[in-house]
Amino acid sequence: METNVRRSQQERTRATTGALVAAARELFISDGFSVTSLDAICAKAGVTRGAFYHHFSNKEHIFREVYAADQRELAVVVRRAFQAEQDPWDGMAAGCGAMLKASLEPALRQITMVEAPGALDWSTMRNIQAGCKEQMRRGLDIAIKAGCIPDRPLDPLTSLLYGGICEIALALADSTDQRAVLEDSLAELDLVLAGVAGRHTPGCAHKDQVESY
């Protein structure tokens, strides 16, 4: 009986927080972080301010949850692109490309590129992005172990590639011709990755390692 009660409470909690996060995300996208009020979020979610404060401390707190959820979705997009390739290095290229293409999706762009820098401090953003950066590190590690690229220190390589991808994504968000910038960026990315690899090693595919990404 107690287990059922706890489960019911957990389900209500998930339902309430889910409704609040969904409502907040929609308003942050349409109205912006600075304009959106807690009253508007509560009204859209159909909950009281008391219920809001039971789960979130303030507007920045719920924006962090919205931003973190979008980062997790982005990680899923990248993982699927990586795993769709037989060759881990092709998977790395596909994952980087998928991340840049996803950054053009209007809602994701608005949250991660437009609103987040004003709503969150840089340290908070970096902490939330840590999962995506670690995902890239794992992909590089798989590629090295598969013999696709020469063995090298992972941390600086990850920082260089991940930082570059993030900068390109920001440039895309500010561009008036996003498709043209994307095409140019993907072409340059191919050159950078080719340089990292030295030369592509034929037959370095290890599908079991790709699927572990």
What is the extent of the structural domain holding 42? 1-56
What does the pLDDT profile of the chain (213 residues) look like in tens digits? 555 555 577 888 899 999 999 999 999 999 999 999 999 999 999 999 999 999 999 999 999 999 999 999 999 999 999 999 999 999 999 999 999 999 889 999 999 989 999 999 999 999 999 999 999 999 999 999 999 999 999 999 999 999 999 999 989 888 899 989 999 999 999 999 999 988 644 556 555 666 666
Q: Is residue 69 left, alpha or beta, with left meaning phi > 0 and alpha meaning psi from -120 to 50?
A: alpha
pTM, two decimal places? 0.85
Of the CA atoms within 13 Å of residue 179, those in its CB half-sphere come to 0
Q: Are residues 13 and 49 in the same domain?
A: yes
Residue listed under structure tokens 């596909």: 94
Give the rounded distance of the alpha carbon of 150 from its chain centre.
27
Q: Are residues 5 and 31 in the same domain?
A: yes
State the burial class of residue 133 (Cβ atoms within 10 Å of its Cβ: 0-12, 13-18, 19+).
Answer: middle
Q: Identify which of 169, 167, 190 has the alpha carbon closest to the alpha carbon of residue 108.
A: 169
Q: Are residues 79 and 26 in the same domain?
A: no
